[in-house]
Amino acid sequence: MKNETMKRDLRRGELIICQDAEELALRAAMHFVELAEQFITRNGRFCVALSGGSTPRGLYARLARPPFRERVIWSRVHLFWGDERCVPPDHPESNYGMVQRELLTKVPIPPANVHRMPVEKDPEEAAIEYAHILRAFFGLAAQELPALDLVLLGLGEDGHTASLFPGTGVLHEQTEMVRAVFVEKLGASRLTLTAAVFNHAANVTFLVSGERKAAILREVLLGEEQPDRLPAQLIAPTWGKLLWIVDGDAAREIVRQMSSVSQDSP
């Protein structure tokens, strides 16, 4: 079989390979706007969990400019965060702060529609409060999970996504929506939505760029299943769609392996 049918068709997701980071941002912006139009028409609102990092910054910058800015009814968009560093919102490393600079100050989104993680509090208290925010907004009963319309995720060089880091206790959390996690190698606390929440979304989209991500992207999608070591492998939507939008540098090793398998097949 062709490398186990290309690891079960790239672990049951779709892969879009863009020429470069600029095209990746463009494709991601098109994807965001199309989903926004679809869900606002259907449900009257569009609920998104945002990602931090350098790759999604290009997406947010695109969304803040024409023609994408005008295509979104921002009063119907609700923004949440997939994870956050436990730093003040104006800190240079704040995921919220980055989105505020690149997007929120440039589009007409009501402040009440921006649901940031309250990380200036004690991490455990902040996790409880953010779970309350989610529960109230989505009208959830006990043990129910929110159905986000879109989750944006990145991929770390160690295989982490959001703040689901290798070897941490949060990886297999099944009951809590939000967890505080202390990342030893970073010496820092973070808040993260759990894999259960990500997997309950209608759409989960990874944005990955740069040659430094090539080896880990190949390992996550085409390597052995080792979610404790490669937490990004935990992301497998139960009913939604999984999409990877990557640039050519990040896809280099996947393309090489796929080409090799094709040439070796009879």
What digits encode the pLDDT tens for the residues 75-119? 999 999 999 999 999 999 999 999 999 999 999 999 999 999 999
- From 140, 154, 91, 143, select the one nearest 117 (Cα to Cα): 91
Mean pLDDT across 160-177: 94
Contact call for residues 171 and 158 (beta carbons, < 8 A):
no
Cis preceding linkage at 237, omega within 30: no
| Residue 259: Cβ-neighbour burial (10 angstroms; 0-12, 13-18, 19+) | exposed
Nearest-angstrom CA–CA distance, 80 and 52: 12
- The residue ranges of DSSP E strands in the chain, in sequence order, are 14-18, 46-50, 77-81, 83-85, 150-153, 178-183, 188-193, 203-208, 241-247
What pLDDT does 258 receive? 80
Q: Is the pLDDT of residue 8 over 60?
A: no
Q: Which amino acid is at 32?
A: F
Residue 118, CA atoms < 13 Å, CB-side half-sphere: 13
The predicted model scores a pTM of 0.94
What pLDDT does 3 receive? 44
Q: Is the pLDDT of residue 10 over 90?
A: no
User: How is residue 172 written in tokens?
Assistant: 């297999």
- Give tens-digit pLDDT for 124-147: 999 999 999 999 999 999 899 999
What pLDDT does 9 receive? 63
Nearest-angstrom CA–CA distance, 236 and 224: 15
Q: Is the pLDDT of residue 12 over 90?
A: no
Average of per-residue pLDDT values in the chain: 93
- Give tens-digit pLDDT for 202-241: 999 999 999 999 999 999 999 999 999 999 999 999 999 9
Nearest-angstrom CA–CA distance, 223 and 233: 10
Q: Is the pLDDT of residue 199 over 80?
A: yes
User: How is residue 205 written in tokens?
Assistant: 């989209």
Contact call for residues 129 and 117 (beta carbons, < 8 A):
no
Domains by residue range for the chain, with CATH = 3-264 (3.40.50.1360)
pLDDT band at 262 (very low <50, low <70, confident <90, very high): low
Q: Is the pLDDT of residue 7 over 60?
A: no
What pLDDT does 1 receive? 37
Sign of the alpha-carbon dihedral angle for 85, 229, 159, 151: negative
Pairing relationship of beta strands 188-193 and 83-85 according to DSSP bridges: antiparallel
By mean pLDDT, which of 77-91, 147-161, 174-188, 241-255 is the weakest? 174-188
Percent of the chain at pLDDT > 70 equals 93
